[in-house]
């Protein structure tokens, strides 16, 4: 890994009830160990748990983020949505934008660009997800897709220092299959090169997401260019999530 800190983002997706906040107890205790002081742990639970998670982690180093947000900063007729201003006011510091599961529902680069701008204006840090589908990979379009998602998603945004990039191949999410290490390394290097060339970002932070588990983390951590991991299902289990962090550093 090329940066000092390693990021471990727990994307809970549609999981958890009020009592689920107690699942943080082990991770909170673990986060206090000096041995793992360079681990940056971020939990992104459903909207219904954001307030409880913020209160639970108020006195430790764990940060909380939302899984998505609406593009408008103005209160209005948007039933079922919350915006970046509301997320910030509740005490969150991060928001995931561009996850493939949301892109599949119709979120395009223009909409994501508006969400990113809104979130940056409200002082949120962004976890920007990018990645190709299986057909795009098969047709050797991976780099073309990554370039398009980055350049269009970040159009007219000059300062991207508060954006973490999560490379998540769509075909890997939830499948248990991770990319070949050579391909993954090349894609991470490509992303970092693109950010350096187009945005003058010398120390970009690029994470990997897609079926990350305690079983494959030792393989994934061999790629020094990866600055952390966006973890889905495995993050819902505190023992598995802790195991991923431990194995990254050991």
Which secondary-structure segment (H or E) carries 190? helix 181-199
Question: Hey, what are 129's tokens?
Answer: 């997800």
CB-based contacts of 61: which residues, under 8 Å, 6+ apart? Answer: 31, 40, 41
Active site members: 99, 168
CB within 8 Å of 185: residues ≥ 6 apart = 223, 225
DSSP class of residue 237? Answer: S
CA–CA dist 74, 245 (Å, integer) = 39
CB 154 within 8 A of CB 160: yes
State in Å, rounded, how far the first CA of the chain is from the last one: 13
């Amino acid at each position: 890994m090329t940066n000092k800190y390693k990021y471990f983002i727990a994307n809970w997706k549609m999981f958890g009830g009020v009592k689920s906040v107690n699942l943080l107890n082990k991770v909170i205790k673990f986060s206090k160990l000096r041995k793992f002081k360079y681990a940056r742990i971020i939990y992104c639970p459903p909207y219904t748990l954001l307030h409880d998670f913020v209160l639970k982690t108020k006195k430790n180093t764990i940060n909380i983020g939302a899984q998505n947000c609406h593009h408008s900063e103005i209160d209005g007729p948007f039933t079922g949505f919350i915006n970046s201003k509301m997320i910030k006011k509740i005490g969150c510091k991060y928001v995931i934008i561009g996850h493939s599961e949301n892109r599949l529902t119709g979120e395009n680069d223009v909409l994501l660009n508006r969400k990113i701008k809104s979130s940056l204006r409200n002082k949120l840090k962004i976890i920007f997800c990018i990645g190709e589908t299986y057909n795009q990979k098969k047709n050797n379009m991976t780099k073309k897709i990554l370039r398009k998602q980055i350049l269009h998603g970040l159009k007219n945004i000059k300062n991207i220092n508060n954006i973490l990039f999560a490379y998540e191949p769509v075909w890997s999410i939830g499948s248990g299959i991770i990319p070949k290490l050579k391909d993954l390394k090349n894609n991470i290097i490509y992303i970092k090169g693109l950010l350096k060339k187009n945005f003058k970002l010398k120390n970009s932070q690029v994470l990997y997401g897609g079926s990350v588990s305690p079983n494959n983390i030792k393989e994934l951590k061999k790629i020094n260019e990866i600055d952390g991991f966006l973890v889905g299902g495995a993050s819902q289990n505190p023992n598995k999530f802790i195991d991923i962090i431990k194995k990254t550093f050991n």
